[in-house]
Amino acid sequence: MESTYNAKDEDGHVSVSGPGDGSMKNRKPDNTAFKQQRLPAWQPVLTAGTVLPAFFFIGLLFIPVGIGLYVTSNNIREFEIDYTGIDMSSPCFNCSQNVSWNSTRPCSCSLPFHLDHPFESNVFMYYGLSNFYQNHRRYVKSRDDSQLNGDGESLLNPSKECEPYARNDNKPIAPCGAIANSMFNDTLEIFYIDPNGTKVLIPMMKRDIAWWTDKHVKFRNPGGNNQNVTAVFQGTTKPLNWHKPVYELDPDPENNGFINEDFIVWMRTAALPTFRKLYRIIQKKNNLVPTLPRGNYTLEVTYNYPVRSFEGRKRMILSTISWMGGKNPFLGIAYITVGSVCFFLGVVLLIIHHKYGSRSNSADIPN
């Protein structure tokens, strides 16, 4: 087969023509500065005059920042009590043995505790779970976001992602899916024991515990949040492990159904098997009196949530917060560690440069 090579075109391509009047371009990149790698480039030259100041600057910057973060974290008050009931001496031992998902009779237990230091500002009450893998792929996908957003069609015809928690007794489950089916449903109350021995219930706020975007954007009741919640959920049934339907979660119509904040908080899955979720907020009412004074308390638990089947543990956490959030010393320790390593390396490199740098420079000078 005869073929001829034509001249290059404007883009630097070479055309090959043959008897069939066909042509083929080679794979040579375009003759541009970008594709031919002729763009101007800059490469730093690492010298003692540039590296040593950088190490010392990072060290002197990170160490005080880390100390500030660590001190701020340590100033946060936090108290934690485990009420799983694993030990026979625990007041919740009988409940942990007898409660299951199908239990119809609630079990209650009381755990006394003592606060050695008062909690001055707003106190955030969390429930914590351990060995619970909310990040499992099938578990995370087991939900219907259209249904949770108030779509009427999805309410009666849940997504296949919810299987096997989409229907029960030929009725659609609302809310469907494994996440909603495993919702945390223990009831926690705190009583203060005054010097006279009287139990005083600590008032707790159950609103504003969910993210604003979740409450007002991602979760809606069918037909709108101002509709009769009982009526809009007719024809549906509750999840298998729930003790009551979704429209009976709260007597407050602005915190009922899919917009119930306890439900919304649970639906935001955790990334790690040991996690905590916000349960209630104890607001400070008087600047002269601590929110939770030093003294004796009792945690009253309505034990509904079984965890022994997956060897999990449950706990209640009381915590204050600061401008950086909750108690987390890791960030401060990380800053201090990085700053100390950089400062140490700067000292070592300075000694090496002082000892050997002048020798190498003199060797480069010709006689």
Tell me what the pLDDT averaged over the chain comes to: 88
Asked, as a colleague might, if the bond just before 293 is cis with ω within 30 of 0, I would say no
* Angle formed by the axes of helices 48-74 and 330-352, nearest 10°: 150
**What percentage of the chain reaches a pLDDT higher than 70?**
90
Q: For 154-184, what is the HEC assignment?
A: HHHCCCHHHCCCCEECCEEECCCCHHHHCCC
Q: Is the pLDDT of residue 82 over 90?
A: yes
pLDDT value, residue 28: 83
Q: Write the CA distances from 336 to 321, 324, 328, 339, integer angstroms.
A: 22, 17, 14, 5
pLDDT band at 366 (very low <50, low <70, confident <90, very high): low
- Residue 50 amino acid letter: T
CB 293 within 8 A of CB 123: no
Q: Is the pLDDT of residue 203 over 90?
A: yes
User: Strand runs (DSSP E) across 219-324, as ranges?
Assistant: 275-282, 295-303, 313-319
Q: Is the pLDDT of residue 77 over 80?
A: yes
CB 283 within 8 A of CB 296: no
| H-assigned helices in the chain | 48-74, 93-98, 137-141, 145-148, 152-156, 178-181, 212-213, 229-232, 261-267, 330-352, 358-363
Hey, is 188 helix, strand or coil? strand
Q: Is the pLDDT of residue 17 over 60?
A: no
* pLDDT per residue as tens digits for the range 127-167: 999 999 999 999 999 999 999 999 989 999 999 999 999 99
Q: Tell me what the mean pLDDT of segment 310-324 comes to.
A: 92
Here the tokens at position 142 are: 């087991």
Domain locations along the chain: 78-320
C-alpha span between 126 and 277 (Å, rounded) = 5
Q: Is the pLDDT of residue 305 over 90?
A: yes
Here the tokens at position 232 are: 């809009």
Give residues with Cβ within 8 angstroms of 117, minimum separation 6: 77, 294
Q: Tell me what the mean pLDDT of segment 274-280 comes to.
A: 96
Q: Tell me what the mean pLDDT of segment 164-189 comes to.
A: 94
> Is the model more confident about 279 or about 354?
279
Here the tokens at position 151 are: 């779509």
Q: Write the CA distances from 74 to 69, 113, 284, 304, 319, integer angstroms.
A: 9, 22, 21, 34, 12
pLDDT band at 313 (very low <50, low <70, confident <90, very high): very high
Q: Count CB atoms within 10 A of the CB of residue 96.
A: 20
pLDDT band at 360 (very low <50, low <70, confident <90, very high): low
Burial 203-235 (b: 16+ CB within 10 A, else e): ebeeeebbeeebbeebbbbbeebeeebeebbee
Q: Tell me what the mean pLDDT of segment 168-196 comes to.
A: 94
* pLDDT per residue as tens digits for the range 213-251: 999 999 999 987 777 888 889 889 999 999 999 999 999
Pick the range with the lowest mean pLDDT from 4-8, 26-30, 138-142, 245-249: 4-8
CB 340 within 8 A of CB 122: no
pLDDT value, residue 241: 92
Q: Is the pLDDT of residue 211 over 60?
A: yes
pLDDT value, residue 16: 53
Q: Write the CA distances from 84 to 94, 98, 182, 187, 192, integer angstroms.
A: 10, 12, 17, 13, 22
Among residues 15, 11, 35, the alpha carbon closest in space to that of 25 is found at: 15
Q: Tell me what the mean pLDDT of segment 23-36 comes to.
A: 79
pLDDT band at 42 (very low <50, low <70, confident <90, very high): confident
pLDDT value, residue 12: 53
